[in-house]
Structure 1
Amino acid sequence: MELYAAAGRKKKLLNSEEETFRRGQERLSSLQREHAELLHNLEQCKRRRKERLRIQKMLRGPEAENGDYERERSIASDSGSDSDYNSHHHRSSSGSSSYRHRPRRDGAKKERKRLRRFQSDVSLRFQLLQSECRRSDMEVDKLKADLRREYADACLFGNSLNF
Structure 2
Amino acid sequence: MIYLIVCITALIASGLTLFSGFGLGTILMPAFAIFFPIEIAIAMTAIVHLANNIFKLFLIGRKVDKKVLLKFAPFAILAALAGSLLLSVLTNIPILTSYTIGSRGYEITIVKVVIGLFLICFAFLELLPRFEKIEFDKKYLPLGGLISGFFGGLSGHQGALRSAFLSKTGMDKEAWELILIGN
Please indicate the TM-score interval, normalised by the length of the shorter structure. Answer: under 0.3
Instruction: Looking at secondary structure, tell me which structure has more helix per residue.
Output: 1
Which one has the largest radius of gyration?
A: 1
**TM-score, scaled relative to structure 1:** 0.24
**TM-score, scaled relative to structure 2:** 0.22
Instruction: Looking at secondary structure, tell me which structure has more strand per residue.
Output: 2
Q: RCO greater where, 1 or 2, for CA within 8 Å and sep 6 or more?
A: 2
